Amino acid sequence: MLIDHNSTTYSDLESLVLGLVSAPHELEWLEFKHNQGDPEEIGKYVSALSNAAALHGRSRGFLVWGIEDETHAILGTTFNPHTKKRGGELLEGWLAHKVTPRMDLGFHTGTVRGERVVVLEIPAAMHTPTRFSGVEYVRVGSSTRKLADHPEKARKLWFRLTRTGFEDGIARRGLSAGDVLSLLDIPAYFDLSDQPVPSTPEKIVERLGEEAFVTSEPDGTFSITNLGAITFGKSLRRLGLERKAVRVIAYAGTSRNHGLRERQEAGGYIAGFQRLMDAIMAQLPSGETIGQTLREAHALYPEAAVRELVANALIHQDFSLTGTGPMVEIFDGRIEITNPGTPLVDPMRLLDSPARSRNEALAAMMRRFNYAEERGSGIDRVVTLVEADRSPAPDFQVTAEHFTAILYAPRPVTEMNKDDRIRATYQHACLQWVARAQLTNSTLRQRFGISEGNSAIASRIIGETETAGFIKKFNPESWSRKHARYVPFWA
């Protein structure tokens, strides 16, 4: 089977149509028409079949012209979607802005048993019901109805949509076993999972199906799921996920005015993770430690902390946000790691909250291959590593649609500003609380590298943080600042 890797066009349309006409009558995700070509009706069908496909756990629905609805006989059609217009606009373009959320609708035209047929391939609804002209439709048996008029269907659909994540979607479809092997990094998967490679392409694809990387279709072809693509894709571009590839940008200075270098990790997150980390660490500056006899170079940022934050950015991103993806930006004195989507927990509670994964299948896969944790301890580990270096505390920032974790290069407490000191003290109190202990003057001196003779400096920092409302006394009746114990404000 020949596949155009830059489109979803079927090279074997006949097999697809013959598979569909052999299906039972009144499948809610499938509709046959002879020549009916009213754009308004087609738009309603798009919404209804998309929502019906989601309801029935299908990756897509189909509207097929040239087939008799009752008998499924192949009659042929005069309908031509490529010349059909609505209000002077071609049908495909008109549907593109009338159907929301926007989706990749694919018209396929060909000959089946000597008769001309047209197939409209409709992706299943994801995240929210598919609407046409602002109205949600659904199939009830063989009829197209407004979803609002069928509350039980609406409840079931929303239940499906809230349980269906990005990973379940389809990245590429209409593939042969050989196509699957050319698009996924098969050696990386079997090497990292410590399995022998099966002897035939069919057995390899069968194994990938067990991982939910690949699904079988009614026409005998295969589809690669978003989970398979995003984890072990050879090229995210060829799998339609180029905007989800990780960008690494290095700048001159502390602003974005002068970019030095930019690269993009082309492969899937697991197949390409080590390459990505090597590329990041190679661009980070090094420091020096002077020993008794020689100078020793060391990474300016803890590699394990960078690794944890990069993995978190991949796992916790919101894939439903279009036109954006994970990004690592390297500046003088700091590194920023950004992902689309706001965190599912309060940013002030990242160190003590239980793990919550927006993309559960991806999170489980990253954990399985030792690239991430799911115990909710990843941020704790990052802060612990930073404290060991006595660097400024990580900064976690949230915007309307993104989350950014910032690591700062080491500098002594005397060069930290007030915000740096308060943030570090609050995070230290959180770490102590998680360890079933409390922040004290002594523990904070150790965190900042302050000598015992300068305990007044630690007391002043504690006072700043308490005044800012980030910590409170463990025992409110204690008046001793030097021997007092403190906990996070929420404890």
Residue 54 has pLDDT above 80, yes or no: yes
CA-to-CA distance for 320 and 125, rounded, in angstroms? 12
pLDDT score at 7: 32
Interaxial angle between packed helices 273-283 and 303-315, expressed in degrees from 0 to 180 and rounded to the nearest 10: 130
Strand order in the sheet with 99-100: 99-100, 131-132, 135-140, 143-146
Which residue type occupies 88?
G
CA-to-CA distance for 336 and 159, rounded, in angstroms? 36
Higher pLDDT pick, 380 / 355: 380
- Asked if residue 158 and residue 77 are part of one domain, the reply reads yes
CA 4 to the chain's CA centroid: 26
- Interval 364-411: pLDDT, tens: 999 999 887 655 578 999 999 999 999 999 999 999 899 999 999 999
Q: Please give the C-alpha separations between residue 430 and each of 135, 248, 352, in angstroms, as whole numbers.
A: 48, 31, 7
- Asked if residue 464 and residue 331 are part of one domain, the reply reads no
What is the sign, positive or negative, of the torsion defined by CA atoms of 6, 7, 8, 12? negative
- Asked if residue 295 and residue 281 are part of one domain, the reply reads yes
CATH for 307: 3.30.565.60
Quick one: tokens of 138? Answer: 């659904």
What is the sign, positive or negative, of the torsion defined by CA atoms of 425, 431, 436, 437? negative
Quick one: tokens of 352? Answer: 């003590």
Which of residues 108, 141, 164 is at a domain's end?
164
- Asked if residue 172 and residue 141 are part of one domain, the reply reads no
Residue 363: closest CA among 421, 309, 312? 312
Residue 458: closest CA among 432, 436, 468, 466? 466
Average pLDDT over residues 454-474: 95
Which residues touch 470 (CB under 8 Å, ≥6 apart)? 422, 425, 426, 429, 488, 489
Longest Cα separation, the chain: 94
- Asked if residue 266 and residue 132 are part of one domain, the reply reads no
Which of residues 164, 189, 219 is at a domain's end?
164
Burial of 42: CB neighbours in 10 Å, binned 0-12, 13-18, 19+:
buried
Q: Please give the C-alpha separations between residue 229 and each of 55, 170, 183, 205, 362, in angstroms, as whole numbers.
A: 24, 9, 8, 14, 11
Percentage of the chain with pLDDT > 70?
Answer: 93
Residue 10 has pLDDT above 50, yes or no: no
What mean pLDDT value characterizes the chain? 88
Determine if the peptide bond prior to 81 is cis (ω within 30°). no
Q: Please state which of the ranges 74-88, 423-437, 455-469, 473-487 shows the lowest mean pLDDT.
A: 473-487
CA 477 to the chain's CA centroid: 48
pLDDT score at 385: 95
What is the sign, positive or negative, of the torsion defined by CA atoms of 98, 100, 106, 111? negative
Which residues touch 48 (CB under 8 Å, ≥6 apart)? 137, 138, 139, 144, 145
- Interval 98-109: pLDDT, tens: 998 888 787 899
Give the number of domains in the chain: 4
Confidence label for 164 from pLDDT (cuts 50, 70 and 90):
low
- Asked if residue 323 and residue 180 are part of one domain, the reply reads no
- Asked if residue 219 and residue 151 are part of one domain, the reply reads no
Q: Are 161 and 126 in contact (CB under 8 A)?
A: yes
Which residues touch 204 (CB under 8 Å, ≥6 apart)? 177, 180, 181, 186, 197, 198
Quick one: tokens of 340? Answer: 């689309």
pLDDT score at 4: 28
Euclidean distance between the first and the last CA atom of the chain, given in angstroms as a whole number: 62
Residue 8 has pLDDT above 50, yes or no: no
Question: Tokens 């991949």, residue?
Answer: 314
- Interval 307-350: pLDDT, tens: 999 999 999 999 878 789 999 999 999 999 999 998 888 889 88
pLDDT score at 330: 97
Q: Are 390 and 447 in contact (CB under 8 A)?
A: yes
Residue 48 has pLDDT above 50, yes or no: yes
Question: Tokens 């929301």, residue?
Answer: 100
- Determine the 3-state secondary structure of 1 from DSSP: coil
pLDDT score at 5: 27
- Asked if residue 310 and residue 261 are part of one domain, the reply reads yes
- Asked if residue 175 and residue 104 are part of one domain, the reply reads no
CATH for 83: 3.30.950
Average pLDDT over residues 149-158: 90
DSSP state of 133: T
pLDDT score at 285: 82
Which of residues 142, 164, 186 is at a domain's end?
164
pLDDT score at 13: 83
Residue 306: closest CA among 324, 287, 333, 328? 328
What is the sign, positive or negative, of the torsion defined by CA atoms of 195, 197, 201, 202? negative
Q: Are 127 and 318 in contact (CB under 8 A)?
A: no
- Asked if residue 247 and residue 193 are part of one domain, the reply reads no
Q: Which domain holds residue 426?
A: 413-488
Antiparallel, parallel or unpaired: β 246-251 and 327-331: parallel
Average pLDDT over residues 275-289: 84
- Asked if residue 203 and residue 117 are part of one domain, the reply reads no
Average pLDDT over residues 77-94: 89
Quick one: tokens of 122? Answer: 């409709």
pLDDT score at 290: 45
- Burial string for 204-232 (b: 16+ CB within 10 Å, else e) reads bbebbbebebbbebebebbbbbbbbbbbb
Residue 421 has pLDDT above 90, yes or no: yes
CATH for 458: 1.10.10
- Asked if residue 51 and residue 1 are part of one domain, the reply reads yes
pLDDT score at 2: 26
